[in-house]
Amino acid sequence: MKIFTLRNVMRAALWGGAAAAVLAVAGFVTAAVYVVRVTSDLPDYQQLAEYEPPIMSRVHAGDGRLIAEYAREHRVFMPIENIPQSLVHAFVSAEDKNFYEHGGLDFRGIVRAAFANVGHVLRDERLEGASTITQQVAKNFLLSSAQRLERKVQEMVLARRIERAFTKDQILELYLNEIYFGQRAYGAAAAALNYFDKSLDELTLSESALLAAVVNGPARFHPIRHPERTIDRRNWVLSRMAANGYISEEQAREAAQDPLQIAERLSGDDYLAAEYFVENVRRQVFSMYGEDELYDGGLSIRTTLDTRMQMAARRALRDGLETYDRRHGYRGVLGTIELGEGWEERFEEVTIPRDLDDGWMPALVVDVSDAAASIRFEDGSEGTIPMAELSWARQNLPDGELGPVVRTAGEVLSAGDVVLAGYPTAEVQEPDTYSLRQVPAINGGIMAMDPHTGRVLAMMGGYSFQHSQFNRATQARRQPGSSFKPFAYAAALDNGYTPASLILDAPFVASGGADERFYMPSNYSERYYGMSTMRLGLELSRNVMTVRLAQEMGMRPISDYGVRFGIYDELDPVLAMSLGAGETTLYRLISAYAALVNGGRRVEPTILDRVQDRTGATIFAHEQRECETCDVEEWQAELLEPFFPETREEVVDPVTAYQVVHMLEGAVQRGTGTALRSLGRPLGGKTGTTNDFRDAWFVGFGPDLIVGVYVGFDTPYQLGSGEAGGRVAAPIVRDFFEDVIGDYPVAPFRVPEGVRLVPINRLTGEPGVLGQSGVILEAFRPGTEPSRQSPEEESGLSFARSSVSDDPLSLLLQEEEGDDEDSEEEEGIGGLY
């Protein structure tokens, strides 16, 4: 019986073993068939050898500072040989400790994860993965992220193939340049920049561990939203690095003590200051190379921007606009809320302007007396706004007018008002004292340029890019007013006139257009001065003289010069255009002035110096000149010095250009540009103001730098009586020059060949002796300087001075002696009557 039973058992075991073997074979065959089926059309892993990921394009200022990045995926490709070993060890320890030992699949890790996941399921915890770095490369590059068995099998097969085709370093290079780190960063190099504003070789041990930590789950290990969880994960990576022998236990402990410090990149005033400039760069590169190349092509874009000048331009423009705005009263509070419990929540609901000046903060008025307003800030701190900081806040009325004088704080503010408060402007030294502020309603633009190369060194297109992206330096088409006059005078100089030519300054009437019967321009002072030199007409911006000159000479040359200098595409030859009635942009006007300053050569403003592709090859260079003697192996005495042929178009004779510049130096010393006189340097400049004070302009320049400013409301509106270019725009140019002019040597304007400097009386045009009142050195073409005859006899003109003024020469002399900003002559295009 026992023998029978044992035999039966043995038979059953044999049948069971055979069945198991059959099932095993069947299972293997089934699995093999399934693997073959799901892997029959796998992506070609060989394409990884041609890996060219989307790379962000980076924009640098002329001084090398990074000012912008353009990308769909923020990535900087980094070859494996440039990735520090500490970062490699951190990722291997965190993601795949057996990376250097397995052939693509970590079977020990798979078994470990399987057993561990049983417990995780019972505890309802997040499951562990067992993917190797090679598997992640297969998934990220060649497959989808779908959580399906089919995709997992494909991943494992591809991982084995990748391991046979690529070295471990090549696999790591692919992995570390592709994975997503959060913070809009793809790849380790971009992550180092976005998290720490550092290159990879600058990372500390704790920072390398942090990058290895966050890649496991960028949302879960977010250093801002979840700092404690992120630190714990970082410290776990450090402990794994120590356990794997990459660092010592002591190094791990020290690194674990490092605080969590995340950088704020591309932020702050210097970044905000460049926003208008950067947007112009983006548009230009987009038009040159297209969207894909800009956002995925990894372009290196070197611009002309000088970051220090750009900050100076931002300060000068914002200060100038705020100064004008305060002269024209207070437009009201940001909102009014109920005081008492819960004021903080109500305070947060009030809309606060963005991009506030440094030191400006929203505040709640909690009490008002005759002498001051008490305020409270969001953090609970308190302060006061005294009457000295409220006296400017008169009611803002139409056409630049003001309401009654403010005598008590209660006339401006009430308890519950939400306002902007900033550092005091008056000489108030009391602690916790603030001033009342408001964001200007007026706007404008400023641009600085090298007149010889056209390189735009600074550009602000408005008070704030966050308030309005409309660029008033390049896009706003407005009448330049009297800032066009230098080009009318340049046309005259090329048509037989000299700076000493006499032009009648007297009432002028001409036929009007279709809508008006008469055109009758007037001077800003509403006075007339009789026969005056052309220099005087430009220095003091005389409207009537300019129009009379245009009538005598004919408008066609002036219209031609407006187009030749690039100010206009076309210009109607009507008299009003001689006073700047045509519309143009600050960008084009500065380019035209540059041709005067550089000796008559056209320069096109440029914001790009060079563009390189992802391989470093230059695909655009602004400066492209041929030089046959530059490319030699070594210097030889008989070789000529490098010579660059002049390729720029000559738009005006160098002598004419210098004569206009010389007269505009006089405008700074004695005329409408005296705002720059305090700088004590050879500078020229010209104001511009249009009818009814709707636009204010000023262009100032030295031998190697030119700066222009436009100020006005976006919807044309009166700035207010007396708000001319010399008062509104010129101080902005002066403030900019004060910050940057020290970088330039004190040097006179370059005098070209063919200029003769002759002493004359600037008021009469007669020859004189230096040292006598009114005598200056004037620039003439040889043979055109005045003789010792009286100017009236020489010109064949006679004029009864008494018909214009009792004593016009006396008026001129008074103007000469009392010359200051308040006595400037400045008005734009006259009027139609």
CB 373 within 8 A of CB 418: no
Strand pairing category for 57-60 and 66-70: antiparallel
Interatomic CA distance for residues 195 and 178, integer angstroms = 17
The one catalytic residue in 435, 482, 559, 578 is 482
Q: Is-contact 678 731, C-beta < 8 A? A: no
Please provide residue 832's backbone torsions phi and psi, each rounded to the nearest 5 degrees: -105, 130
482 assigned to active site:
yes
Pairing state between β 456-460 and 443-449 = antiparallel
Q: Pick the catalytic residue: 69, 95, 389, 723?
A: 95
Strands 695-701 and 706-712: antiparallel
Q: Which two tokens stand for residue 254?
A: 């020290």
Q: Where are the beta strands (DSSP E) in 298-428?
A: 300-303, 335-336, 361-368, 372-377, 382-386, 417-422
For 166, 200, 353, 592, 785, the CA distances from 173, given in Å and listed in that order, are 11, 14, 46, 52, 76
Alpha-carbon gap, residue 123 to 120, rounded angstroms: 5
Q: Cα 75 to chain center, whole Å?
A: 23
Using the structure block, give the residue that is written with the tokens 């059953």.
12
> Strand order of the sheet with strand 456-460?
456-460, 443-449, 706-712, 695-701, 684-689
Q: 44-60: string of b/e by CB count within 10 Å (b at 16+)?
A: ebeebeeeebbbbbbbb
Sign of CA pseudo-dihedral 728, 729, 734, 736:
positive
Q: Which residues contact 587 (CB under 8 A, 6 or more apart)?
A: 447, 473, 474, 605
DSSP state of 766: -
Q: What distance in Å separates the CA atoms of residue 272 and residue 655, rounded to the nearest whole number?
A: 42
- Residue with tokens 């970051």, as numbered in its chain: 307
- Give the residue numbers marked as catalytic: 95, 482
